[in-house]
Chain A
Amino acid sequence: MNVSRRIFLSGSASLIVSAPIISRAFGSTSTKKNLVVIMLRGGMDGLTAVPFIGNNILRKARPDIGVDKPIKITADFALHPQLKKFKKLWDKNKASIFHATSIPYTGRSHFEGQYLMESGGTVPYYDKTGWLGRALDTANKKSLSISLPMPLILRGGKDLDNFMPSANRLPSDETLKILAADYHEDEVLSNVLRTIRKRPIAMMQTSKNSSQDVKRLAKIAGQQLVQPNGPSIAVFDIAGFDTHADQGGDYGEHAKKLKQFDEIIGTLEDELGSAFENTIIVSLTEFGRTVDQNGGSGTEHGYGSAILMAGGLLPKSKIIGDWPGLEKKNLFEGRDLDSSIDARAVYASILARVLDRDHREIIKNAFFNANLPDMSQRIFG
């Protein structure tokens, strides 16, 4: 790893001071910038996605579920072999990894963790809105979630929509008007129906094909993101990373899920074309997984994981972070990869870049004024 703990810490301290200048330096342009957040539910194993190969600790800790054919990207780190598109972007200086990071939650419950990764707060089930939604509240940008529910992460924002392809057909707007009249006393229902009635034609069309294949979903999102008046924010939701048993290595359950993530990125790159240059895609998960494999050739709930980032807004490919090491003494509670930085700092800096906002303003609006260092220079510098 090319960053030591000492350099990292001094770097972040100076960045707090210079934050406003950096934000101004990026300036605001009329070009539409896009942010895609891919939520990976169940606890994405950062050590499977981006294994540490600097020593053999990980291999020894995971005799049955190690990654056999890692794609080496630095002296110390590799990519999981299913992250093929991501690797291509890495080679084009359009992918980065923030390793050994987590939201500030150590309780190891999926459902508390997932709530917090979306709410951006520190008390589970407390805040009713999400960090992305709050950041967007004043940003005048549209967002689209590729999911059936409106995920917590977007709640609190304006101009939200969500979508999944369906074969059933809506009635005419005349009929919807009857409902609109009925809903008018209910603000939430009214807003939901208003968005439905304003949907672009492409999202009104029905499809006999009810497949929820991620490539297809990514294509739909991409088609909307490239529209000049379309959404600038997209959210995906993949579940199934909770591999307590039969996690697999190069193949298997965790690999399958990583492949889905990779396919979303690859499809978005194809679909966005030149707009990919103004796009950043980031992963989000509730926690990482234990270093050791467990009794069922799986892993347990852990702490530190990795944030995978891709897109043309990244200036060069790099692994960012302060690697705590996998030696027992460096593990969180003796079992998990530690987190060297509050993951919310990474998301805040990305938001500042995409929304052309001051880092402090983002922290205030989206993250309850939490003490989050500005990572802009580390990610975009």
Chain B
Amino acid sequence: MKTKAFIRRVGFGLKPDEQVPKNALDWAKEQMLVVPKLIWPGRIYSEKEMLDIRVDFTTSEDKLQKTEKDPSKAKAKKRKLYRRTGRKFFERYELAIRHHQAVYGNQPVFERFWHFWGNHFAIVDKNKLPVFNTGPMQREQLRPLMTGRFADMVYDMTLTWPMIKSLDNFKSRGPNSAFNVNRRRKNKPEKGLNENHGRELLELHTISPQAGYTQVDVINAAYIMTGWGFIGGKKGVEAKKIGYLGSLHEPGTHTVLGKKYKTEGFSSKTKGKKQLRNLIENLCESEDCINFIAWKLCRHFICDDPKTEMMKIIIDAWKKSKGMLPDIHKAVLEATWKYGEPEQKFLSPETWLIQIARMTGADWPGNPKIFEYDFESRLNYKQKKISWILGELGHLPFRAKQPNGFPDTEAEWLSQEYLVRRIALVNNPTQIGLYKNSLPLIDISKKMVNKNFDDPRKLLGILRKLENKNSNSNSLIAVLCSRKVLKV
């Protein structure tokens, strides 16, 4: 690929004052070695703090519903509770941190990969997970994992609080676990297996259905996962810790895709605990997993229908490094550099939004100071608009409807309604922090085109025609919604 096209393909384009790197491939590869610090100057809430706030919210809301029967009083109390716990604030705050990092950070390629993995391990939009938990988990747990082994990433992501919550594993119990044996003895109804997480571990996170596993394999994977869930909860209060309860685990040896997972350990508390680690290790080193993830990375960065030769570069790096993510990421960049063609990938709405913000120097997502919140007031427009805009574009990254996350292809992202929303957004450029009273918008457009395109002639030609027409936002639409910007 050519330098500037490559920078837009694997990153978010160049800021107005950013230097064009001499060697774009090296520039990108270097970004994969170290996890960049978050540059957000405001307060960063730890995942634990956010869990505390969440549990405060869910417990208080539950109590409120049970105790306050007067509808108008209940409404007032609910509003107060919402504000005190940031029920409407935190998702926007997390989005602001994420976008601030992507627009102003110095390792944009790393951020692109971070977004990719966040979507790979998508947490669905339920149980207020996008409000309190998904963003902090991605920040605090996923980011640091990106310089380690893929298998460690899968293992740790499997056992994050939002993943266990969203895929229901905390409700899964081995039919012959000590727990159920006891219930049977007491003539109480059993509480059985939940296949949800076991299936998605195979299908979405590691080997994909291409591996040819059966329903029996799914059930056995779910058996292996039994015992992993929440620990230390009290009745009516959500537990905050993830851990292993041997009493819920399905005893015995479980076979997944022909490989046997024996029960290790002697203590009843930890017996069977290691099965999950062993399963994930085996899954992650299988050809099916390596092929699937290589294909998915190629589809994200290179083209909608990846070819064997592209995938091979990644597969070779994977095997050589034994699944080290920096090597895998660097191979993705090499494959993209080698096989990427111009205007080949239709950008997802969020990536497009970040790109146009970064390339034009827009005030997006806004000065971090505006996100300082007193936990008493109503949110203002500037605080709210980030989620409103992403919602309009159809891409609130913490709100995947299904655990396969957001799609990655032109067929999924290019529709009449999606395009209308992109054009309409740029039609009102102040929304994305492009103000008419700064530089004339046509000059911003020209500068952006000159900086970010290897051959800017076509786009400059369009702008030239608009020059005398007093059509400032037209120039932005003409460029930011042009084919060359929508498709990188």
Contacts and interface: CB of A to CB of B under 8 A. Distances in A.
Contact of A182 (B199, B424, B425, B482): B482
Interface stretch (A49-57, A296-304, A321-329): A296-304
A192 B478 CA distance: 16
29 contacts: A41-B401, A42-B402, A63-B189, A108-B215, A108-B218, A110-B404, A111-B204, A147-B417, A160-B416, A168-B392, A171-B423, A171-B424, A175-B427, A178-B466, A182-B483, A186-B487, A189-B414, A189-B419, A192-B415, A210-B392, A240-B401, A242-B196, A242-B402, A244-B171, A296-B168, A296-B194, A298-B194, A300-B194, A333-B215
Given A111-B402, A169-B424, A163 B417 contact: yes
A347 to B, nearest CB: 21
A162 B416 contact: yes
A149 interface: yes
B392 A175 contact: no
Interface in B409-458: 410-421, 423-425, 427-428
Interface of A: 41-42, 63, 107-112, 124, 128, 147-150, 152, 155, 160-164, 166-171, 175-176, 178-179, 181-183, 185-186, 188-189, 192-193, 195-196, 199, 210, 239-240, 242, 244-245, 292, 294-298, 300-301, 333
Contacts of B478: 175, 178-179, 182
A188 B209 contact: no
- The list of the 5 closest CB pairs from A to B, nearest first, reads A296-B171, A168-B424, A150-B415, A295-B192, A244-B196
Contacts of A41: 401-402
Nearest to B427: A171
A293 to B, nearest CB: 8
Given A109-B203, A240-B401, A166 B421 contact: yes
Nearest to A41: B402
B143 interface: no
A239 B401 contact: yes
Nearest to B478: A178
Given A169-B428, A179-B478, A179-B481, A196 B194 contact: no
B157 interface: no
A261 B412 CA distance: 24
B394 A239 contact: no
Nearest to B203: A109
Given A109-B203, A111-B203, A295-B173, A148 B417 contact: yes
How many of chain B's residues touch chain A, expressed as a range? 35 or more
B191 interface: yes
Interface in B211-244: 215, 218
A374 to B, nearest CB: 32
Nearest to B485: A182
Contacts of B427: 168-171, 175
B477 A171 contact: yes
A189 B483 contact: yes
Contacts of B204: 111
A166 B394 CA distance: 11
B354 interface: no
Given A42-B402, A171-B474, A294 B416 contact: no
A150 B419 CA distance: 11
Contacts of B423: 170-171, 176, 179
B195 interface: yes
Contact of B194 (A128, A181, A244): A244
B44 to A, nearest CB: 30
Contacts of B402: 41-42, 110-111, 239, 242
B178 interface: no
Contacts of A112: 209
A245 B194 contact: yes
A294 B413 contact: no
B486 A189 contact: yes
Given A41-B401, A169-B424, A298-B194, 14 more contacts: A42-B402, A111-B203, A148-B421, A150-B414, A168-B424, A170-B424, A176-B423, A185-B483, A186-B483, A192-B414, A242-B402, A245-B194, A294-B193, A295-B173
Contacts of A175: 427, 471, 474, 477-478
B370 interface: no
Interface string B197-210: 00100011000010
